Structure 1
């Protein structure tokens, strides 16, 4: 009953904080973390809410990944493959290496594998956190696309490294880089195959379901089923869910307008509620983490501050190098193109669900029965990095974007997109008018069709005012009406 009350309360809190966040112009998921932390401090509540850490990722990550992946496409990933490889793979590996080296210096005698496990926990910016915090901020779409692409794939890299490092720590073995790379490649290939097959099967089922609500319900179950199937096959569940969402969108019927509207509204609600519960749990788990640290908390927090600085410094350095590379290639669609954009992308390295789940899933003992080395310290440091990289950018990103003038660049890009949209709208009106003026080989259009077209042209004509149409075009369409 306590768990049920907790979930309902977090959902209600998410609904209320969405409105508050809009009024304060602050990201409501960050407010949910603060709310969860405050609730955890209320006297009389249980010391911990017994949610199995192994359930955090399977419960929350699949639907949120599926929802985020539906906002992109295969063509976008083909255009951004360099950014995906550099950010979702290379940057994660660089961060893991830097954090592991830092921990080896801060904590003499710590097992290298345990230090690598910490690096894997804090390395990947979370796609849910990035979308929730950076999405509402006015920034160029290029930057948001880079962040979304990075977040959708970097969890796969971090999870492979984390699982290998923890297994080596438990067994007392050394970490093999070669086997780690092989596991990553095999897991990625299997995940892609599972995602493609799942999308094809789902498409076959959807084509045979006539009810729109039933089709939407299937898409809700699908990400969980794909994630669990991939994990059972020792593949990347994260990658399998993303591939399924992208392929299912590619196989979809472009004329299914009603279904798209229903599913968009349906997934917006699911995403809001699941995100609220997930980020509320992050705040609630802070008390458990502090309790585990005990009297060593001040010393551990000092180490956490150093690790936070290293994580941020690695990302800043990486984005600076990326900016120089983009300038040399002179690619107008790439990012970051300027120092200001590099600063914004560096500041958007928010950690979230993946970091929390991995931190709480560290085993208590090794295979020999000994305590897992420095488990409490690793957990506190990981959660500290999560809180710092989530709350600090979450509350300051809108101001930073405005001060750097990045929002002005976004407005310029939006105006350019609007001009392209107007050209497309004018072309659509021309085609509709031609359908009335020049009947095809089957004869003139029925009167009711002509009337519907004239009504549609009239509505669009009313919308396309000012600069969107020339006087000659507007006069022509009025004559048709």
Structure 2
């Protein structure tokens, strides 16, 4: 039960961060997650919380790296293979050497092997944290890709170098040839295992997509299990599990390119699950970092002010050394293959990108996990300086996060928005109004028009706002008054009276006068509730007085009443005739009201006026007609899929025409296309589920 509670609290912490984030837009999400983790450490369940590095790498880092691999195609990896090796291997080794040099010359008296171990722990970078810090900022083109490719593979480099450093400490000697062979075995072995196993699982998935009775029930769980299975097998064989899952992700990216438009529903569901899962796991990783910090600071307090100051100074020196290393590496590296990432050599642009690249060397939960994975004993003896290494690693993480969150917004310009939120909402509303107008002009029943229009209207409320009572304000009453006059003119026309009779027309005129004359007040829920109570009290008094509680009693009473009052039989027959006529007239008025709404909507769209009052009046009229129809007949409506396709097709055409006429930008068109695709996929999936 405690494990389930722990998971629930970690997920709750991520949800809390998402709720808090809009109120602190200038603070990166990573820092908010860390802060919430620190606050959650107060809870009793987190007292004495310690990271289990093996489970952390297996349950959190492995799926994250698998998804990162899925976001990069094999062609991209092959094209940038030389850059990846330089960023994830050569730069990492250069960084380890420089950081180890700084640490060994500090007042710590650590053995060289442990300084190398600390440097290896600091190597892994976190591109996700950098993204959260540069949200809304304009990163130089290509630089984001360099950070992603570096982060994709340097975790494994840090893990391998850490194992080499611990072996060096245990044996007292370091064989360079053996070290290189070990590095190649772990790295290449992990890649080979990842590619091979993932290729087999992809082949199995392709087979199941075409032959399984329920492809989704098998291929989606198989895809979700892939990184965990491959990580375990790779680690069991002594190779890099991280590189194995990255390779598996790249192969699965190739699987999507092979499937293309085959099994689209499975691909959409799988992509959504992975996107949600990795976002959650990234958040949990930073929350866990925050949970571990209080214990680190508590240990740090045992060293006193002088010892703590030395450790803090060492962490600052290491961070500066890493920044300098990354800055110098980008500044002086040649080669045309790096121009895409860092610009031309010996230019101001290259120096500017070098500073950004240096500041973007942010560290996260992987670094903390590696620090916590250090063994407490080596060769039967306690590992010296274990607490100091873990404290310095935690401090470097915090320093990198804090400096990047402050410095990057200062040196990066704000991103120029291709379109404003107002422009997006305005264009979206016009797009939906166009689709609704096309629906209104079709020769289909009012109930189908109503159901389809209501569904399309929900696209307007993508910002979370719902159509509620506050939308029914007095600003739409002039349109209501105009429509009531037009409806009354139609009802009082000679053709309507000839078709439905004076009695039905008189009754329906009274219904309109009572139901639509003052809609802002007569539809108040408290008044409806009070009316229902009075009606229920009257019915109870009637049934008590006449003793007619069952169907037989009511039939017997009606028969006796008609025998005693023969004139009432004619009135009842007349009422039934009028009821049918009123119901038929109600349907006719609905059709005419649809025509009027379409006319007013078209007029407002041509003049560029706001169409919000059309939506409000449409809701009001639907309630009115529904109330009348419920008195006589209940209607259940199922909208055919082809009508939805036609409506979404009208939205596509509107966006395409607006783009061709240069009324909107291509980025705004892409956003609207994406929204239409999502709405269409969701609606058609719902229809498929209903018909199964």
Shorter-chain TM-score tier: 0.7 to 0.9
Kindly indicate whether residue 246 of structure 2 is the aligned counterpart of residue 255 of structure 1: no
Measured against aligned partners, the alpha-carbon deviations of 1:299-328 in whole angstroms (never above 9, x if no partner) come to 222222211211222112222224xx36xx
The answer on whether the counterparts of 2:17 and 2:36 sit within 8 Å (CA) in structure 1 is no
User: When the two structures are superposed, what TM-score results if normalisation uses the length of structure 1?
Assistant: 0.80
Preserved CA contact (<8 Å) 1:113 1:174: no
Q: 1:468 aligns with which of 660, 669, 672?
A: 660
Superposed CA RMSD in Å reads 3.0
**Is the 2:37–2:288 Cα contact (8 Å) retained in structure 1?**
yes
Is the contact made by 1:359 and 1:382 (CA closer than 8 Å) also made in structure 2? yes
Distance 2:241 2:340 in 1: 30
Q: 1:236 to 1:373 in 2, by over 3 A?
A: same
CA distance in 2 between counterparts of 1:375 and 1:177 reads 25
CA distance, structure 1, for counterparts of residue 402 and residue 276 of structure 2: 23
Cα distance in 2, alignment partners of residues 124 and 451 from structure 1: 53
Distance 2:18 2:406 in 1: 15
Paired position in structure 1 for 2:162 = 162
Contact 1:27–1:395 under 8 Å retained in 2: no
After alignment, is 382-391 or 51-60 more displaced?
Answer: 51-60
Distance in 2 of aligned mates of 1:79 and 1:134: 26
Matched, 1:321 2:340: no
Distance in 1, Cα, partners of 2:158 & 2:224: 26
Which residue pairs with 1:298 in the alignment? Answer: 309
Partner of 1:39: 40
The structure 1 residue matched to 2:355, chosen from 343, 363, 366, is 343
Deviation at 1:92, TM superposition (A): 0.6
Could you list the runs of 5+ residues in structure 2 that have no partner in the other structure?
419-641, 664-692
Alpha-carbon distance change, 319 to 332 in structure 1, aligned in 2, over 3 angstroms? closer
Q: Secondary structure of 2:253's partner? A: helix
CA 1:330 to 1:185, structure 2 compared with 1: closer, same or farther past 3 Å?
A: closer
**Partner SS for 1:72:** coil
Deviation at 1:249, TM superposition (A): 1.7
The verdict on how the C-alpha distance between 1:221 and 1:64 changes in structure 2, with shifts beyond 3 A counting, is: same
Partner of 1:429: none
- Which SS does the other structure have where 1:333 is aligned? helix
State the partner residue of 1:95. Answer: 95
Cα displacement string for residues 215-261 of structure 1 (whole angstroms, at most 9, x for unaligned residues)? 22222211011111111111111111111111122133011432222
* Separation in 1, partners of 2:410, 2:22: 15
- Residues 469, 196 of structure 1: alpha-carbon distance in 2 compared, 3 angstrom cutoff: farther
Q: Secondary structure at the match of 2:381?
A: coil
Q: Report if the CA contact (8 A) 1:73-1:250 is conserved.
A: yes
Q: Is there any run of 5+ residues in structure 1 with no aligned partner, and where? A: 412-449, 472-481
Corresponding position of 2:340: 333
In terms of Rg, which structure is larger? 2
The CA deviation at 1:4 is 3.8
Q: Is the 8 A contact 1:111 1:373 kept in 2?
A: no
Rate the CA distance shift 1:51–1:122 in 2: closer, same or farther, 3 A: closer
Matches within 5 A, 1:210-225: 210-225=214-229
Residue in structure 2 matched with residue 83 of structure 1 by the alignment? 83
Provide the rounded CA distance (Å) in 1 between the counterparts of 2:205 and 2:43: 50
In the TM superposition, residue 456 of structure 1 has moved relative to its aligned partner by 8.1
Please state how far the C-alpha of 1:391 moved relative to its aligned partner.
Answer: 3.4
The structure 2 residue matched to 1:312, chosen from 323, 332, 343, is 323
Distance, in Å, in 2 between the alignment partners of 1:398 and 1:70 is: 29
- Ranked by relative contact order (alpha carbons within 8 Å, sequence separation 6 or more), the top structure is 1
Between 1:21-30 and 1:81-90, the stretch displaced more is 21-30
- 1:164 and 1:394 map into 2 onto residues whose CA distance is 33
Do 1:164 and 1:180's aligned partners in 2 also have CA atoms closer than 8 Å? Answer: yes
1:88-132 Cα deviation digits (max 9, x unpaired): 111110111011111111146421111100000002213443455
Query: Aligned equivalents of 2:100 and 2:328: distance in 1?
Result: 18
The alpha-carbon distance between structure 1 residues 34 and 69, as it changes in their structure 2 partners (threshold 3 A), is same
The equivalent residue for 1:30 is: 31
Q: How does 1:353-364 map to 2 (within 5 A)?
A: 353-364=365-376
Residue-by-residue CA offset, 1:408-442 (whole Å, 9 max, x unaligned): 6x97xxxxxxxxxxxxxxxxxxxxxxxxxxxxxxx
